[in-house]
Amino acid sequence: MLESDAAERDLQRDSELAGLTDRAVGTNRRRACKLLGAAALGAGLRAVRAAARPLRVLILGGTGFIGPHFVTALTAGGHNVTLFNRGRRKHDPMPHVETLIGDRNGQVDALKGRDWDVAIDDSGYTPRQVRLSAELLQEHIQQYVFISTISAYADLATPNIDESYRLAQLKDPSVEQINDDTYGGLKASCEELVERTYGAHATVIRPTFIVGPGDTSDRFTYWPARVARGGEMLAPGKPSDPIQFIDVRDLADFVRLSVEQRLAGRYNLCNPPHAVTMGMLLDESKRITHADTRFVWANAEFLEAEHLIDSGAIPIWAPPSGEYAGAALISSKRAVSSGLKFRSLDVTVRDTLAWQAQRPARQRETLRAGLSPEREAELLAKLHKGSPS
């Protein structure tokens, strides 16, 4: 296992340092301190030099939602970035960023004969696509970073799922159609292919909901945007219910860290369990927007009876029991211990609202997630009717 190999190397290194200490203390304590200090300083300088050395980074994709944030984080670190995509998306010009035109479904000639230090795959959804790039680049890169998802797990019913949890399996391994039934299994198959091809040089990152400026899925955006409208608002579950997500910029920073420090293995990316609750998100949104919003909390039974959970009409939040009981309790300990940092909830909400305010009117007024005003009014009326007088 990749994680076991890394742990074994760490233990061996620590054992060697401990042995050095014991021998040195027996003869000259001050000499031991100097030796250990020099070793620590040397390790620190090596890390600084590794981070400071400009790397050649290939991003398979790089436009969409998360790609531009990756570019921003990597170029801020002085790295040289090349994008490979179809060139169909409009995006702001990115100075000093090379773009190669091609298609992951077979048109990859632009990648042939080129060398990079690292490839970041944020657009691989089927094993066939990923195999084509992974095998083509195998002798031309030193690390392959694959952006996966927590949907790659076999289920989300168990709290504290870590990176060793079992993965989803496709009923038909040859399927390429992406839908709710196949998405997780396809991503898991892509992961397995990357790890099989690159071994200790593979990095698999499994985010939960990716949120923040540029997220046109509106799953997170719906909540602060709805709070800003004011009035009575339907809120799911209880204020204490945990929610999990990762700000896209925190994801990008961790990707940069993975590239600079050659982090290998698998990493769940999300805020720690119970670090953020539904009540915290709504209260923070209300504080920031100064809205007069009044929250009406609807329990899971009501939401299920109204078919709001399976339909995805209540985004981000997950019921505390049942098949999604662990969806908001994913363990991110491994990533945190490796350097994952989090922006404050305040920053994510403020920046999401600022981005939302700049969108075209049609996108601001009709979000892709959440309840329509009409449906919400209908549900609030039912809640009031069922409430004791």
pLDDT confidence of residue 8: 36
H helix or E strand, kind and range, residue 80: strand 80-85
pTM for this predicted structure: 0.85
Whether 297 and 317 have beta carbons less than 8 Å apart is answered as: no
CATH number of the 54-207 domain: 3.40.50.720
pLDDT confidence of residue 310: 79
- Print pLDDT tens along the chain (389 aa): 333 333 333 333 333 333 333 333 333 333 333 333 443 444 344 444 445 689 999 999 988 999 999 999 999 999 999 999 988 766 655 667 999 999 998 899 999 999 999 999 999 999 999 999 999 999 999 999 999 999 999 999 999 999 999 999 999 999 999 999 999 999 999 999 999 999 999 999 999 999 999 999 999 999 999 999 999 999 999 999 999 999 999 999 999 999 999 999 999 999 999 999 999 999 999 999 999 999 999 999 999 999 998 788 999 999 999 999 999 999 999 999 999 999 999 999 999 999 999 999 999 999 999 999 999 999 999 999 986 54
Q: What is the pLDDT of residues 44-55, one digit of tens each?
A: 444 444 456 899
Q: What is the pLDDT of residues 154-170, one digit of tens each?
A: 999 999 999 999 999 99
pLDDT confidence of residue 14: 35
- Domain locations along the chain: 2-50, 54-207, 222-243+274-322+346-386
Residues 90-105: b if buried by 16+ CB within 10 A, e if exposed: eeeebeebebbebebe
Q: Using CA atoms, how far apart are residues 83 and 103, in angstroms rounded to an integer?
A: 12
* Residue 177, token pair as written in the block: 């159609």
CA proximity to 205, closest of 270, 127, 126, 116:
270
Cα first-last separation, the chain: 60
